[in-house]
């Protein structure tokens, strides 16, 4: 009774996003396979050098392609994008892997205890589960450097806060829904705050300005609050705190 379903590689949908952009949608839900196809199309599009394409923005489930309608029209570009999306995916290049320190709990992770209570466990256990995860940068969006990670363990999936906070600190590491992420700049968030990292995924006068790329792998490790304070000062001065390896 093990009738295997053929892998469904349905063609993506082309959604008009005004006269100068088109959304290539692979899925309506957060879906790892769809995200892989988004990132593959993103790479293929970069390599294709299609005339008139300005930039592309990968997300969990779609690729938004900005273009100049004076150089290519919606129909012509749409055909090219669908053709690229139907090509077999080239084997992915070696992923870059970031190891990111996090000061969990206390003033840096004000929701850690509540999350533990909600999930009937201890804060230490939540931290253990969070650092055990092997994550991928599914997309970067909303504000500079905010890296949305896929791969959060099922037991940590939680609905977002009823009342989003208007201001959460720079470097916040949080969970929300089926996602976790690194929020680089201070700003509003409806996620649950587990900790803070000294790592700046975006820092204006540093080279590189942006650390993470969509498709990068990420793991977290816990540091104490004193180490956080030291690393935070070094990071502020432009030092790159995250460890980078290829895997």
Query: Which residues of the chain form contacts with other proteins (CB under 8 A)?
Result: 15-21, 23, 25, 27-30, 42, 54-64, 66, 69-70, 73-74, 139-146, 148, 184-185, 187, 202, 204, 209-210, 214
d(CA 123, CA 113): 6
Residue among 72 and 131 whose Cβ is closer to other proteins: 72
In the complex, the smallest distance separating the C-beta of residue 196 from other proteins, rounded to whole angstroms, is: 18
96-104 vs 217-222, strand pairing mode: parallel
Query: Least distance to other proteins from the beta carbon of 187, Å?
Result: 7
Nearest approach in angstroms of CB 189 to other proteins is 12
User: Which residue's CB is nearer to other proteins, number 23 or number 121?
Assistant: 23
Q: Which is nearer to other proteins, 131 or 210 (CB)?
A: 210
CB of 113: closest distance to other proteins in angstroms? 27
Minimum gap (Å) between residue 163 Cβ and other proteins: 13
Tell me how long the chain is. 247
If the CB atoms of residues 39 and 193 are measured against other proteins, the closer one turns out to be 39
Closer to other proteins by CB, 63 or 194: give it: 63
CB of 1: closest distance to other proteins in angstroms?
A: 33
Is residue 35 packed enough to be buried (19+ CB in 10 Å), middle (13-18) or exposed (0-12)?
buried
Task: Using the minimum distance from each CB to other proteins, give the nearer residue, 103 or 212.
Answer: 212
Tell me the C-alpha distance between 174 and 180, whole Å: 6
CA dist., res. 202 & res. 175, Å (int): 20
Residues 169 and 184 sit within 8 Å (Cβ to Cβ): no
């Amino acid at each position: 009774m093990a009738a295997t379903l053929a892998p469904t590689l349905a063609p993506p949908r082309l959604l008009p996003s005004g006269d100068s952009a088109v959304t290539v949608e692979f899925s309506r839900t957060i879906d790892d396979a769809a995200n892989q196809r988004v990132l593959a199309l993103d790479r293929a599009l970069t390599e294709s050098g299609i005339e008139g394409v300005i930039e592309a923005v990968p997300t969990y489930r779609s690729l938004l392609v900005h273009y100049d309608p004076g150089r290519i029209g919606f129909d012509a570009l749409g055909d090219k994008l669908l053709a690229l999306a139907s090509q077999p995916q080239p084997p992915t290049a070696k992923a870059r892997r970031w190891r990111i320190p996090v000061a969990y709990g206390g003033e840096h992770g004000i929701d850690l205890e509540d999350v533990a209570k909600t999930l009937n466990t201890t804060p230490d256990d939540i931290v253990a589960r969070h650092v055990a995860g092997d994550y991928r940068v599914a997309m970067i969006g909303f504000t500079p450097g905010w890296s949305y990670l896929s791969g959060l363990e099922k037991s940590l999936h939680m609905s977002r806060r009823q009342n989003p906070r208007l201001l959460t600190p720079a470097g916040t590491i949080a969970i929300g829904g089926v996602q976790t992420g690194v929020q680089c700049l201070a700003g509003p968030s409806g996620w649950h705050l587990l900790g803070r990292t000294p790592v700046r995924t975006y820092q204006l006068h540093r080279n590189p300005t942006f650390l993470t790329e969509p498709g990068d792998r990420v793991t977290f490790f816990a540091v104490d609050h004193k180490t956080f304070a030291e690393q935070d000062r070094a990071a502020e001065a432009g030092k790159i705190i995250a460890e980078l390896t290829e895997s």
